[in-house]
């Protein structure tokens, strides 16, 4: 009986872990055709969405046309205005990682090149996008 209980417990734990994290590929624009990105989401203990964005082969924002100073991550709920989530910093290996938490359950996530990390609305070229459902 104990063996059956342990097997059921292990199966339930495996299903919970397998269902918890979901991955969404990001689509790169023609501005940065070599860029590759992926967003992994799961829920935190409060039911919020915790997302982790990993990007590679992303050109430095100064190399965009028109040139930008920084990359900004935006979250936009369906029918809502885009909200600045912060700066996506590219390292010397052209990789970047960004993490945040949101109560939103369905939204678009995108990255633009901007002149200022405190931008209130996206105005620069969009480089990556995905829809989280």
Tally the C-alpha atoms within 13 A of residue 73's C-alpha that lie toward its C-beta: 24
Residue 5 maps to a domain: no
**Which pLDDT score is estimated for 3?**
65
Running DSSP on this structure, what letter comes out for residue 59?
Answer: P
CB distance 113 to 64 below 8 Å? yes
The structure tokens listed for 81 are 């205005």
Residue 25 maps to a domain: yes
Residue 37 maps to a domain: yes
Residue 9 maps to a domain: no
- pTM greater than 0.75: yes
CB atoms within 10 A of CB 110: 21
Residue 16 maps to a domain: no
Q: Which residues contact 32 (CB under 8 A, 6 or more apart)?
A: 57, 58, 59, 64, 127, 128
**Which pLDDT score is estimated for 21?**
82
CB distance 124 to 66 below 8 Å? yes
Instruction: Please report, for the domain that includes residue 66, its CATH number.
Output: 2.60.40.200
Can you give the residue range of the structural domain that contains 89? Answer: 21-132
Residue 11 maps to a domain: no
Residue 12 maps to a domain: no
Low-confidence ranges of the chain (pLDDT < 50): 17-18
Residue 10 maps to a domain: no
Domain count, the chain: 1
**Which pLDDT score is estimated for 18?**
46
Residue 112: beta bridge partners?
72, 126
Q: What are phi and psi of 92, to 5 degrees?
A: -65, -20
């Amino acid at each position: 009986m104990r063996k059956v209980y342990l097997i059921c417990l292990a199966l339930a734990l495996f299903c919970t872990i397998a269902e918890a994290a979901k991955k969404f590929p990001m689509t790169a624009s023609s501005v940065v055709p070599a860029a590759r990105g992926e967003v992994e989401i799961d829920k935190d203990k409060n039911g919020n969405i915790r997302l982790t964005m990993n990007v590679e082969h992303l050109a430095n924002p100064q190399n965009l046309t028109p040139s930008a100073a920084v990359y900004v991550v935006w979250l936009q709920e369906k029918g809502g205005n885009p909200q600045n989530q912060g700066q996506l910093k590219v390292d010397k290996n052209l990789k970047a990682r960004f993490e945040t938490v949101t109560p939103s359950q369905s939204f678009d996530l995108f990255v633009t090149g901007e002149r200022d990390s405190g931008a209130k609305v996206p105005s620069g070229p969009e480089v990556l996008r995905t829809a989280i459902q």
